[in-house]
Amino acid sequence: MELTVLFVSFIVFLLLGTSVAAAMIMSAVLSLFVGGMPMTIMAERVLSGINSYTLLAVPFFIFAAVIMNRGGLTDRLLGVSRCFVGHFRGGTAQVDILASIFFAGMSGSATADAASQGRILIPHMRKEGYDAGFAAGVNSASATIGAIIPPSIAMVIYGSVTNISVGALFLAGVIPGLITGLGMMVVVSFLAGRRGYPRAPKMTWRECVGPVLDALPALLAPVIILGGIFTGVTTPTEAGVIACVYGLFLGFVVYRELTLKDILPILAETVEATAVPVFIIAAGSIFGFALTTSGFGFMVQDVLQEITTSPIALLMIVVTIFMVVGLFVEGTAAMLIFVPIFMPLVQLYEINDIQFAMIVIITIMIGTITPPVGLQLFIAADIAKISVFKVDIWPFVVIMLVVVLVLVFVPEMATFLPAALM
């Protein structure tokens, strides 16, 4: 009875236009009320879901991303990217992808990446003759690299839910993230050649010296942030604090693009951006508790064990489930709902925890760029002033799916660096 109330009310609330997080909370409250649970336990579950030292890294990395956007770091990363790939086919689109790789090593936020670079590069691509759908597609797809290459807010949340080392997850994301970026660049080159998109003249080494030296302090940010984590000197949360301090130093002292007047707007933007994932985490905590008390997890586990005893087949089923759920549910919410359900099966089938984590995170990122609810897709489409259904996103979705499938069959792509360095 409780399970029926939970899912029926959840679907009804979604159909009424309620946000996913609010629908999770209200449906969970109804389900637990029908089951006779005291209201106090609901408040306790919400608070326990967000009362985590590891999760403190989330607002710090978001704060760092906002500082870097406003402090001039993003512009300088774009300048360096133009030096290296601006002369390739589809040069400005290639710049978007390479800059996302650089930016990923500092912020860990796909949303911040899509918004900051999209405001600059999408209008620029439109002026150069790129289709609006293609410009938005490149921007939204490349932004997902921010959640794959460390540091990654998605990995911090995943680690807090599963108690897996966030440092190990960070290392695991390096190779898949770089391969994803390279695959996207190949797609851009192919499509740009067929569609006649322009490329910039190749810059000489002498012309590149200025932009590279100017961006060098920004390029050192990933080294400082990740170096502390991988050497064990800092925790991910402490690394988030260092990212904020270093970003403020660059913005105020090195690049001098920040003033004291910028602090309050930066803090306000950070609070607003942090509220969304924290609210979803709190909602996911109580919704997950309702699923547990209703026995849904055991039901799913029993069904999957009856369907297959193959680890590969189980991973393919998990990918399919997250792909379908990602079409309708925000990625963080999907992670909080389903990962705790699948983790016992991961142990039972002797699947590597790190491999499974990377498969889930990248598949969830695919959901952020597919209609109808992909967040990065909405951001890019809004900047390009087109419908999300007109964004040319599917070639990039295919690339990300290929990376996921390689991870399914070649776990070493995710496990090699953690095993070698930790």
pLDDT in tens, 162-190: 989 998 999 999 999 999 999 999 999 99
| Cα–Cα dist 236/99, whole Å | 23
Residue positions counted in the chain: 422
Q: Does the pTM of the predicted model rise above 0.85?
A: yes
* Res 71: pLDDT: 85
Give the rounded percent of residues in the chain with a pLDDT score beyond 90. 34
- The pLDDT confidence band at residue 292, using thresholds 50, 70 and 90, is confident
* Res 310: pLDDT: 93
* Res 351: pLDDT: 94
* Res 94: pLDDT: 92
C-beta neighbour count of 293 within 10 angstroms? 18
> Which residue, chain included where needed, has tokens 């913005």?
251
- Range name among 15-24, 169-178, 348-357 with the lowest pLDDT average: 15-24
| Cα–Cα dist 110/100, whole Å | 9
* Most confident by average pLDDT, 11-20, 174-183, 247-256: 174-183
Domain containing residue 145:
2-421
Question: Which pLDDT tens digit goes with each residue over 83-101?
Answer: 889 889 888 999 999 988 9
* Res 174: pLDDT: 94
- The pLDDT confidence band at residue 416, using thresholds 50, 70 and 90, is very high
Give buried/exposed letters for 120-156 (b at 16+ CB in 10 A, else e). bbbeebbebebbbbbbbbbbbbbbbbbbbbbbbbbbb
| Cα–Cα dist 4/272, whole Å | 34
Residue 377: CB partners within 8 Å, gap ≥ 6? 136, 140, 368, 369, 370, 371, 388, 391, 393
> Which residue, chain included where needed, has tokens 């709190």?
282
* Res 170: pLDDT: 93
* Most confident by average pLDDT, 6-15, 72-81, 143-152, 393-402: 393-402
- The pLDDT confidence band at residue 415, using thresholds 50, 70 and 90, is very high
Closest to 159 (Cα-Cα) out of 57, 275, 43: 57
Contact between 115 and 97 under an 8 Å Cβ cutoff? The reply is no
Mean pLDDT of 196-213: 85
Number of domains in the chain: 1
Question: Which pLDDT tens digit goes with each residue over 24-82?
Answer: 889 988 888 888 878 777 778 778 778 877 788 888 888 888 888 888 887 888 888 88
Answer yes or no: is pLDDT of 120 > 90: no
* Res 222: pLDDT: 84
Average pLDDT in the chain: 88
DSSP-derived secondary structure for 10-75? HHHHHHTT--HHHHHHHHHHHHHHHTT--HHHHHHHHHHHH--TGGGHHHHHHHHHHHHHHTTHHH
| Cα–Cα dist 421/364, whole Å | 26
DSSP-derived secondary structure for 128-149? TT--HHHHHHHHHHHHGGGGTS
Q: Which residue has the higher pLDDT, 212 or 415?
A: 415
DSSP annotation of 251 reads I
- The pLDDT confidence band at residue 21, using thresholds 50, 70 and 90, is confident
* Res 124: pLDDT: 87
Contact between 81 and 103 under an 8 Å Cβ cutoff? The reply is no
Question: Which pLDDT tens digit goes with each residue over 215-236?
Answer: 888 888 888 888 888 888 888 8
Contact between 333 and 293 under an 8 Å Cβ cutoff? The reply is no
